[in-house]
């Protein structure tokens, strides 16, 4: 088994022999565990002690037949401050390298409550995330996001993404609308297939059937939605006796500040530069629960899902940061 070290990492010191041996031993072990059987070999995070006061974070993952190692600079543990702790924590939330083009989904499709559903993540997971896609349905960028959510945290999740539009999503060329025809088709889609009551009414039965796949008969559920799906996540988190423990909205559409007053679980809002800043601020101010609100000011509406151009380095970096932020929130609240 070959092991290579990425050259575009922070710091240029070589791996010491002990680090290399440990990484290879751990990665070999992963090949014969549940991670491999489920077609996912999760990244390995190691804290390497470099002296009495210094630590380095190493991340190892598979790329074909090679083990690739990322490393950070040395951290001085005497500099005990929130910034250092946050950096280490975010490295602990290790996500696989984002694939810019030609992504191959790691999960599988199952029929749940009559709907084709993308399911990914370890079968042993006791926590689950219901992912509500954007109006464009199953896209490689969105499926890759589901795979990232399933195994990148210290906590593992079974992720379920139902095809609420039953094979008839909106055409991505309609948005942003360039013609009157686009506007008409988009408006009609939101009033019919994407009308929130149609989707909200399906969620309880989907969750109930998905629970049959839980190791103990029932998952601890959270919800994440993109664009239109963010609206669904918000409304589902505002219902009495909601089944969800935490919620995340990614570049939310139809963000209504008054909706926040009814949200009953911790919520994160990851907005783009295209959302109305006043609505984002007002929504956050109206949340009565633990919450996190951030605007990714360099990103367009849809950068974490179907409209993401992952061949652009800046978009890819913020796509990754968006998922790290969502995972961090779920880690604390789910």
Does the residue 98 lie in any domain?
no
Q: Are 181 and 151 part of one and the same domain?
A: yes
Of 94, 110, 122, nearest in space to 37 by CA: 122
What CATH number does residue 42 fall under? 3.40.50
Instruction: For residue range 19-74, list pLDDT tens digits in order.
Output: 454 545 544 544 444 333 333 344 555 555 455 556 666 666 655 566 666 655 56
CB 213 within 8 A of CB 123: yes
Count of domains observed in the chain: 2
The residue written with tokens 């630590």 in the block is 55
* Pair 57, 193 in one domain: no
- The verdict on 175 and 297 lying in the same domain is yes
Taking the C-alpha atoms of residue 23 and residue 26, their distance in angstroms, rounded to an integer, is: 5
Same domain, 68 and 201: no
pLDDT at 258 over 50: yes
Phi, psi at 158, each rounded to 5°: -90, 125
Q: Model confidence at 97, in pLDDT bands (50, 70, 90)?
A: confident
Residue range 155-192, pLDDT digits in tens: 789 999 999 999 999 988 888 888 999 999 989 999 99
CA distances from 287 to 120, 131, 224 (A): 31, 21, 17
Task: Report pLDDT digits (tens) over 198-238.
Answer: 999 999 999 999 999 999 999 999 999 999 999 999 999 98
Q: What angle do CA 286, 291, 294 make, to 5 degrees?
A: 95
Residues 115 and 88 in one domain: no
DSSP 232-284: HHHHHTSSTT-SEEEEEEES-SS--GGGGGG--S-EEEEEETTS-HHHHHHHH
Which residues are paired to 248 by β-bridges? 224, 268
| Residue owning tokens 């959270």 | 222
**Measured distance CA(199)–CA(299) in Å, rounded:** 27
Q: Are residues 128 and 258 in the same domain?
A: yes
Parallel, antiparallel or unpaired: strands 157-162 and 244-250: unpaired
Q: State yes or no: pLDDT of 86 exceeds 80.
A: no
Chain segment 206-215, per-residue pLDDT in tens: 999 999 999 9
Same domain for 189 and 327, yes or no, is yes
| Rounded Cα gap, residues 243 and 87, in angstroms | 32
pLDDT band at 1 (very low <50, low <70, confident <90, very high): very low
Per-residue pLDDT reduced to its tens digit, 281-334 = 999 999 999 999 999 999 999 999 999 999 998 999 899 889 989 998 998 898
Rounded CA separation 270/293 (Å):
6
- Confidence (pTM): 0.75
Last residue of a domain, one of 66, 92, 118: 92
């Amino acid at each position: 088994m070959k092991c290579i070290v990425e050259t575009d990492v922070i710091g240029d010191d070589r791996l010491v022999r002990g680090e290399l041996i440990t990484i290879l031993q751990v990665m070999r072990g992963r090949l014969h565990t549940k991670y491999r059987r489920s077609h996912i070999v999760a990244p390995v995070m190691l804290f390497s002690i470099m002296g009495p006061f210094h630590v380095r974070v190493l991340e190892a993952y598979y790329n074909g037949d090679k083990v690739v190692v990322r490393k950070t600079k040395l951290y001085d543990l005497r500099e005990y401050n929130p910034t250092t702790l946050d950096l280490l924590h975010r490295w602990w939330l290790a996500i696989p390298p984002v694939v810019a083009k030609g992504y191959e989904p790691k999960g599988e499709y199952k029929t749940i409550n009559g709907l084709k559903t993308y399911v990914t993540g370890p079968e042993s997971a006791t926590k689950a995330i219901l992912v509500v896609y954007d109006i464009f349905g199953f896209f490689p960028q969105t499926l890759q996001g589901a795979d990232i959510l399933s195994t990148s945290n210290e906590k593992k999740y079974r992720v379920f993404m139902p095809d609420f539009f039953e094979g008839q999503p909106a055409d991505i060329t309609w948005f942003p609308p360039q013609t009157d025809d686009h506007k008409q088709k988009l408006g009609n889609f939101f009033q019919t297939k994407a009308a929130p009551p149609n989707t909200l009414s399906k969620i309880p039965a989907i969750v109930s059937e998905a629970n049959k796949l839980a190791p103990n008969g029932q998952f601890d559920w959270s919800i994440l939605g993109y664009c239109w799906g963010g609206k669904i996540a918000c409304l589902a988190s505002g219902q009495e006796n909601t089944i969800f423990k935490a919620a995340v909205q990614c570049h939310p559409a139809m963000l209504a500040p008054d909706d926040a007053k009814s949200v009953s679980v911790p919520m994160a809002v990851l907005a783009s530069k295209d959302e109305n800043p006043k609505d984002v601020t007002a929504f956050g101010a109206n949340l009565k629960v633990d919450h996190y609100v951030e605007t990714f000011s360099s990103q367009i509406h849809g950068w974490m899902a179907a409209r993401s151009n992952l061949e652009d380095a800046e978009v890819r970096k913020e796509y990754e940061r968006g998922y790290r932020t969502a995972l961090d929130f779920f880690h604390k609240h789910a």
